[in-house]
Amino acid sequence: MKITLKDGSVKEYSSSMTVYEIAKDISEGLARAACAGEADGERVDLRTVIDRDCTLNILTDKDPGGLATIRHTASHVLAQALKRLYPDIQLAIGPSVDDGFYYDVDSETPLTTDDFEKIEAEMKKIIKEDLKLERFELPRDEAIRFFEEKNEPYKVLLIRDLPEGEPISLYKQGEFTDLCAGPHIMSTKGIRAFKLMKLAGAYWRGDSKNKMLTRIYGTAFAKKDELEEYLFRLEEAKKRDHRKIGKEMKLFMFAEEGPGFPFFLPNGMVIRNELMQYWREVHYREGYVQIETPIMLDQSLWVTSGHWDHYKDNMYTSMIDDRLFCIKPMNCPGSILVYKNEPRSYRDLPLRFAEVGHVHRHEESGALHGLMRVRAFHQDDAHEFIAMDQVEEEVEHIVKLINEVYEKLEFTYHIELSTMPEDHMGSDEDWEKATNGLKGALEKMGLPYEINEGDGAFYGPKIDFHVEDCLGRSWQCGTCQLDFQLPLNFDLKYIGADGEEHMPVMIHRVVFGSVERFIGILIENYAGKFPTWLSPVQAKVLPISDKFLDYANEVNKKIRAAGIRCEVDDRAEKIGFKIRAATLERVPYMLVVGAKEAESGQISVRSRFAGDEGSKDLNDFIRDVKEEIDGRIRRPEKNEE
């Protein structure tokens, strides 16, 4: 048999071999590091026998699939520890997830985080025992009897739901056996660093009609230092929580009268307005025209667009004059009506409509999370109408624009190409044509991308931009979606150079996505220490005492006249108190004024970036800060240098 490896090389074997044996044949070091295999794209055990020609990738803990295998085994170790400590506990499911693993259990004895120390200690014993994980299969009826005898009703329900004839696989480690499709690492000893993280409630199978189970979350890594780094990032993320910083800096709020509907406070509006001013400048320069469409439109429009069939459960509606109106969850149908408002020619294309539309989507209350998940937000949409032969050029134009904005805000990003979902409109042929158009543009630009199978919008494939923040977290923000379906549904036309009618291609595109969510990301990325151009207050004048208030007000007036956002702290407090207060408010520049400054007409500058910057001429200070603001430059923070 021929085994094609990741690097394209081919290994030939005269008889079947396990994945582990193949890894060992490649190198002893690879075999020691191996966690799992990937045969023809499917993740498998190292103990899996390969008896056919295939492509094979050996996964280590450096690969997402390898780390997921370690974590999956950690969930079984957790379950085994629970059964040792609480024999009557009943087990449900225990998968790996993005940041670790969990196990859902039904326990008569209420579990709390105080139990974690005891559970972790038992898990360490199991790991030290170096228990081999052994896979075996049972006939359906025998597997059901096996778990009935062990009083594991949730396992029985899982088996009964499996299709007839499907193999029932189990994994055994020591005295513990679990229903599982795998894969797993070879031994419990391969789990070198883990920690239980939290408890949560979880309905059996996610259905609120079913019993509430206890979900125990944990995480695991191949190395202790990787676990410590992860825990450090979590603690740092708590400090950077945009809800906490938003409250401290008075940026936004929520009220019981509008759950999930954010209120922007004056300081928050400054950030939003500055961000959107930059957005408008870039879009004006790149040939976009801004429009605004109604927040509520007749239901028939949403039926034609397909949103009603695919999205109605997330839409707010209202009856007016016996007509059903929908509050828009997206801006695209309104842009289509603007396109149809007048005849269009090939000379108009590409036609780039930009709209910062206020959209509303119903989210379950449990999903709401500060600015990151809300029910009302502003979407920085653009809807572009182009000819088919303009697709690659226009996608390239969009990618360059998004790249410019992300570079200005110092975000790195990666690109994913999302393909046709099961729930979609249009023919497979149209989808293939649209997908190839996006691929062609990315490949022409030489940009790497990952394929995200089945995650496209219901009307077309899309390119998604995932930005990475300072903690290494990824956020999907920008998107570029190619759409043949809505132009067809709305019978959109333009007159071509040949004098005939043609259907345009439509592109849906955002840079920030949800403006509210993007601001939440910025808050956490900067920990509230915004670049000066985005800071709600850019400078604060701090008089040493009331005797110097007049001079402080003169300084403030001159700075504000130059377009710099400035305030005076006129409280009857000591200067140390005022400096600490301004520091907590994350003000970029603190200008201390006393007798010396009043006499010389200067200011004493302290900044977030360099600490004490000494005495400066006021005009020089204004000039330097204006250059920083106008150039939208971010000075490195003191601890970054």
**Cα distance between residue 286 and residue 536, in whole Å:** 28
- Told to judge if 502 belongs to the known catalytic residues of this protein, a careful annotator would answer no
Backbone angles phi, psi at 542, to 5 degrees: -120, 95
- Could you say which of 381, 430, 483, 569 is catalytic? 381
- Told to judge if 381 belongs to the known catalytic residues of this protein, a careful annotator would answer yes
Tokens 């920083």 belong to: 628
Residue 68 exposed, middle or buried by CB count within 10 Å (0-12, 13-18, 19+): buried
- Could you say which of 240, 508, 586, 608 is catalytic? 508
**Cα distance between residue 451 and residue 446, in whole Å:** 15
Yes or no: say if 216 and 115 are a contact pair by the CB < 8 Å rule: no
Nearest Cα residue to 524 out of 97, 234, 264, 228: 234
Nearest Cα residue to 19 out of 67, 59, 61: 59
Nearest Cα residue to 89 out of 72, 105, 111, 70: 105
Query: How far from 481 is each of 357, 416, 499, CA to CA, in Å?
Result: 17, 12, 29
- Told to judge if 35 belongs to the known catalytic residues of this protein, a careful annotator would answer no
- Could you say which of 383, 439, 466, 517 is catalytic? 383
Helix (H) or strand (E) holding 18, with range, is: strand 17-18
CA angle 46, 47, 50 (to 5 degrees): 90
Backbone angles phi, psi at 354, to 5 degrees: -115, 140
Residue type at position 247: K
**Cα distance between residue 264 and residue 358, in whole Å:** 14
- Told to judge if 373 belongs to the known catalytic residues of this protein, a careful annotator would answer no
DSSP 292: -
**Cα distance between residue 396 and residue 399, in whole Å:** 5
Give rounded-to-5 percent helix, strand, coil for the chain.
40, 30, 30
User: For residue 221, how far is the Cα from the chain centroid?
Assistant: 22
CA angle 31, 231, 91 (to 5 degrees): 70
Beta-bridge partner residues of 514: 379
316: left (phi over 0), alpha (psi -120 to 50) or beta: beta
**Cα distance between residue 410 and residue 316, in whole Å:** 37
- Could you say which of 72, 76, 352, 361 is catalytic? 361
Taking the CA atoms of residue 208, residue 212, residue 216 and residue 219 in that order, the dihedral angle to the nearest 10 degrees is -10
Q: Give the SS3 label for residue 589.
A: strand
- Told to judge if 332 belongs to the known catalytic residues of this protein, a careful annotator would answer yes
Q: Give the SS3 label for residue 572.
A: coil
- Could you say which of 155, 307, 462, 540 is catalytic? 462
Cis peptide before 183 (omega within 30 of 0): yes
- Could you say which of 80, 90, 173, 379 is catalytic? 379
| Cβ neighbours for 93, distance < 8 A, ≥ 6 positions apart | 103, 104, 154, 158
Beta strand 450-452 with 412-418 is: parallel
Show which residues are catalytic.
332, 361, 379, 381, 383, 462, 508
